Amino acid sequence: MTDQNSAKPASAAAPKPSFTNEQIAHQLTDNFWIREGEPTRHFDIPVGGTITVNYAGLTQKGQFYAHYALELWSDVTGIQFVTTRGQADIMFDDWDSGAYAHSNLKSDGSIDQSFVNVSTSWISSDGYNLSNYSFQTYIHEIGHALGLGHAGNYNGSADYGIDNDYANDSWQATVMSYFSQTENTAILADFAYVATPQVADVMAIRELYGSSGDTRTSDTVYGDNGTAGSIMNHIIGNSTPTTYTIVDDGGTDTLNFADTGQDQTIDLREQAISSVRGVDGNLIIAEGTRIENAISGSGNDLIVANDLQNVLTGGAGNDRFVFHDAASHSANLDTITDFEDGSDLICFVDDDFGPALSFGLLDFSAVGSDVSIQFNDDRILLENVSLASLDVNDFLFV
């Protein structure tokens, strides 16, 4: 892995394309190795299978990073990492300088054994937390040990604008990138260390190993009063800016970022980018992860619904509730719990609803102390709102 100070912005000779997350994932699983003249690789195990690991020789701090980084890769895939003090599928060490990983392959191209080295000097300045470059390095190197290549065709060092093959090569999409969010001049995101496998990493590693589908299958809260487990609660609640991808396999789930007065964007759609707790572009929902509800704070917030039955709470401030998908045209009911006439807006996006949608085509009715807004078979319920208070100025059609 590159030293965090070694990659520098540079002026590109010509504009480069932006990759989809699927294209980035293919770079990680295939294209990097092909360009290196090496076979693609992964451990030959069933979905949710076992990989043995030995990190007993690391310092206490190194063991801390290795343990939690492996737990995050297990979250994504269901792989069971079993520790041993003898020979293992993945051997960890810290005696050599720098940070790197390599694999020995069997004749069929599958991984026989992988080796990860992160030197003690590499992690010496960081503490026992999951929001620093040392922890990010362990996630990155374990990605290599499992079969992932780099986000671009570079190895050791790279300059943005020269060595990247696509414009959006950055930590925001993949921990396997060499470029921070601020080194990358094509994306809008604040600097933040990577605290989980990112959205393209999830796609890539699941292409190699599948997913057991048993990560947080009950109702889960991410953020304030979190119930996502100690590691995710720590990552999301950390005061140091971090970027992370949420993976969730079931239940009725909530993003709760109510305890802040900063402006936020909470986008519930898969692979969409959110900005929470004062950090731009730091949260992404993984492909296949379905989050139903969102709670924001007292800033001027943007909350974007998905195609599920969403319960949305904007908090104080001038908030916009955005509907792109006409509730997937599936007769869904979305609820806004705290709509404020005169300060909040309900926004409909023409691309999905059609340019003919207008205020006059919405059907309003009082339901007790609430208001139901219906269009075709879909409804939005505004809780504790007077029907008489609503007019065209409460809506935006874009």
Residues 386, 367: Cα–Cα separation, whole Å? 10
Given this model, what pLDDT does residue 239 score? 85
Common-topology check for domains 21-206 and 213-397: no
CA torsion 293→295→300→305, rounded to 10°? 0
Q: What is the pTM of this model?
A: 0.94
Whole-angstrom distance, CA of residue 179 vs CA of residue 152: 10
- pLDDT confidence of residue 12: 45
Q: What would you measure as the largest C-alpha separation in the chain, in angstroms?
A: 74
Q: Are 184 and 168 in contact, with CB atoms under 8 Å apart?
A: yes
Whole-angstrom Cα distance, residue 373 to residue 353?
Answer: 15
Which residues, at least 6 apart from 371, have a Cβ–Cβ distance to it below 8 Å?
364, 365, 381, 382, 385, 386, 387, 390
Tracing tokens 């929470």 back to the chain, one arrives at 276
Q: Would you state the pLDDT for residue 175? A: 99
Asked if 277 and 264 touch (Cβ cutoff 8 Å), the reply is: yes
pLDDT along the chain (398 residues), means of 10: 61 80 99 97 98 98 99 98 98 98 96 99 97 98 99 97 98 99 97 99 99 97 97 93 97 98 98 98 98 98 97 98 69 91 93 76 97 90 98 95
Q: Which tokens hold the place of 103?
A: 């694999």
Query: From CA 121, how far away is CA 16, in angstroms rounded?
Result: 36
pLDDT of residue 351: 65
Residues 65 and 123 sit within 8 Å (Cβ to Cβ): yes
Number of H helices, E strands in the chain: 7, 22
How do the domains of the chain map onto residue ranges? 21-206, 213-397
Q: What is the CATH number of domain 213-397?
A: 2.150.10.10
Q: What are phi and psi of 302, to 5 degrees?
A: -115, 120
Q: Do 182 and 188 contact (CB within 8 A), yes or no?
A: no
pLDDT of residue 15: 87
Q: Are 124 and 132 in contact (CB under 8 A)?
A: no
**Separation CA 206–CA 112 (nearest Å):** 19
CATH architecture for the domain at 21-206: 3-Layer(aba) Sandwich (3.40)
Distance set, CA 291 to CA 54, 248, 276 (Å): 36, 8, 16
Catalytic entry in 22, 36, 38, 141: 141
Distance CA 255, CA 23 (A): 28
Return d(Cα 223, Cα 294) in angstroms, integer: 10
- Active-site annotation holds for 183: no
**From CA 209, how far away is CA 204, in angstroms rounded?**
9
